[in-house]
């Protein structure tokens, strides 16, 4: 494997990890806001 291909693969993996992390934190935030909204409605 050429160095350029190796670098492209590494960058792609980092990009994937970052995208997964962003998706996870966004869903956590959404879940928290959803729970807060439910509690506000219940009161």
pTM of the predicted model, to two decimals?
Answer: 0.56
pLDDT exceeds 90 at position 17: yes
Domain span holding position 34:
1-43
Distance of CA 3 to the CA centre of its chain: 29
What's the confidence (pLDDT) of residue 31?
93
pLDDT exceeds 80 at position 18: yes
pLDDT exceeds 90 at position 28: yes
- Of the pLDDT bands very low, low, confident and very high (cuts 50, 70, 90), residue 43 is confident
For the chain, how many structural domains are there in total? 1
């Amino acid at each position: 494997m050429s160095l350029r291909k190796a670098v492209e693969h590494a960058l792609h993996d980092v990009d994937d990890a970052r995208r997964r992390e962003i998706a996870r934190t966004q869903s956590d935030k959404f879940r928290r806001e959803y729970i807060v909204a439910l509690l506000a409605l219940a009161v």
